Amino acid sequence: MTINILHLYPKEMNLYGDHGNILSIIRRCEWRGIKTNVIHYEPGDKLPEKVDIIFGGGGQDSGQGKIEKDLAKIGPWLKDKIEHDTPALLICGLYQLAGHYFETSEGQKIEGCNIIDITTIGGPTRLIGNITINTPEFGEVVGYENHSGLTKLGEDALPFGTVTSGAGNNGQDFTEGVRYHNCIGTYLHGPLLPKNPRITDFLIKKALENQTGKIQSLKPLNDQIELRAHKVAAKRPR
């Protein structure tokens, strides 16, 4: 059995250690004897026939502008995958562009692909620092945020978690990220997955369940190092 991981725009959207999230998925699959195949997608590439996990990282405003047209082309395809429960992790820039639009602080409007019901407007200052959130499914989640975008959730969007320390979506309503089907959108960099193995295993488990049509039970792993990293990150000053 092979899990096909689609890495969206790794050249333009790969800031703050986002590639480490791909490595985390690969390693936790390898330790369980599960094969992986990473497909790097750049503007103009042919979309793969089989995708089990979708990942997209963060990028600068200029990087988002460079992928805007291509993202509009593949948007309906991505939306169909997510609507049919393909697990996905979209961080920062691609989290923003999975919504309706991102308007920069200079007034440039970058259209999103309308997968999730959010809008983002560039704020006057950057929201930077370590962040801790509480999530209903994964418990405490830790990461690092660095964004000027202020994201508001629409009526059809549920937050990924509640901020306990940090800024989150906009620094005002204590929401962080979004959860839609098996898609997680979030501002948490760091990278996110090595310090939060429950989320990694969620993506793997859902991918296997979609392949087999059966509920899967993953082989337990020794997460001592991962949990230590989580604990250290949670204690870092905000």
Instruction: Read off the pLDDT of residues 158-179 as tens digits, 9 standing for 90 and up.
Output: 999 999 999 999 999 999 999 9
The larger pLDDT score, comparing residue 237 to residue 235, is at 235
Q: Tell me the one-letter amino acid at 105.
A: S
C-alpha closest to that of 8 among 82, 49, 58: 58
The larger pLDDT score, comparing residue 238 to residue 127, is at 127
State mean pLDDT over 7-24. Answer: 89
Q: How far apart are CA 20 and CA 22, in angstroms?
A: 5
- β partners of residue 231: none
Annotation says 92 is catalytic: yes
C-alpha closest to that of 93 among 156, 41, 131, 147: 147
Q: Tell me the one-letter amino acid at 102.
A: F
Helices (H) and strands (E) in the chain, counts: 5, 12
Q: What angle do CA 4, 7, 12 make, to 5 degrees?
A: 170
Choosing from 92, 113, 147, 230, the catalytic residue is: 92
Global confidence as pTM: 0.96
Annotation says 147 is catalytic: no
pLDDT for the residue numbered 116 = 96
Determine contact, residues 68/83, Cβ cutoff 8 Å. Answer: no
| Best CATH choice for the domain 2-235 from the list 3.20.20.70, 3.40.50.880, 3.30.70.1350, 3.40.50.700 | 3.40.50.880
State mean pLDDT over 132-144. Answer: 97
Choosing from 7, 147, 189, 230, the catalytic residue is: 189
Residues 202-216 have pLDDT tens digits of 999 999 999 999 999
pLDDT for the residue numbered 105 = 87
Question: For the chain, which residues make up each domain, given as ranges?
Answer: 2-235
Indicate whether 43 pLDDT > 70: yes
pLDDT for the residue numbered 64 = 77
pLDDT for the residue numbered 52 = 98
Residues 118-131 have pLDDT tens digits of 999 999 999 999 99
Give the sheet arrangement for strand 178-180, strand by strand: 35-41, 2-8, 53-56, 88-91, 183-186, 178-180
Indicate whether 61 pLDDT > 70: no
State mean pLDDT over 65-82. Answer: 93
Indicate whether 188 pLDDT > 70: yes
Between the two ends of the chain, the Cα-to-Cα distance in Å is 42
